[in-house]
Amino acid sequence: MTKVLIFNGSPRKKGNTSVLIKECVRAINDSSKEAEIFFLNDMTIKSCQFCDWCIKNNALSCVQKDDMNNLYPKLLESDVIVLASPIFWFSVSAQMKLFIDRLYALHGKDGYVLTQKKIATILVYGDSNVDRSGVNNAIGSIEDLIRYMKSENIGIVHGTAYKIGDAEKNKELMSRAYELGSIISK
C-alpha cells in the first residue's frame, strides 16, 4: 500500500491549510488508501545546527534529541510526502522551514536517501495577488528542494484563503486539493 505522509506546517489546527489537507485526504481515502498527518506545530523540532554529525556518522538521524528522529524512519518508508504550509512573510511557515532544514540529516553514503520519493505541496496565502503573496518564493524553494533530493514533483496546489473558513468557500481551490489527492493515490 502507498504510504503517504502529510506534514502540516500551520500553527492553526483548524485553519485553511488543514481544510485543504482534509480535502486532499478525502480523495486519498476515496481511493482506499490512507495518509498519516503530522501537525508540526505540536512537535518539538529544533533548528539544524549544521554540525554534520549526521553526515559523519552516516546516521540517517540527528544528534539532537527531538521529534525529527521519530519522523526519519517514517520518511524513509514513505512513498509520497506532502508539504503543506500557509505563507507567512513571503515563504513557508517557520514550522515547515524547521522541518525542511532538518531533512539535511537524510544524506547517506551514496547520496540523498529520499531520492525518487514523490513530493506534493499545498500552500495557502492571504494576498489575492500571487506575485505579491510570497507563494512564488515558497514554490521556488520547494522545487529546489525536490530537484536537490532527486525526487519527483507530483503537484503543487496553492491559492488565496486569508480568514479561517475562506478555503472552504473557494470551490476551485478545494477542487484542486481533491485532485492532488487523486494524483497522490495513483
pLDDT tens figures, 145-182: 999 999 999 999 999 999 999 999 999 999 999 999 99
Tell me the average pLDDT across 32-58.
94
pLDDT over 80 at 39, yes or no: yes
Mean pLDDT across the chain, nearest whole number?
94
pLDDT over 80 at 98, yes or no: yes
Residue 93 CA to residue 83 CA, distance in Å, equals 11
pLDDT over 90 at 110, yes or no: no
The grid coordinates of residue 175 equal: 477542487
The grid coordinates of residue 128 equal: 489575492
Tell me the domains of the chain and their CATH numbers.
3-45+65-104+112-185 (3.40.50.360)
> What pLDDT score was predicted for residue 19?
97
Q: 8-17, 39-48, 59-68, 110-119 — which is least confidently predicted? A: 110-119
User: Apex CA 180: angle with CA 133 and CA 77, to 5°?
Assistant: 105
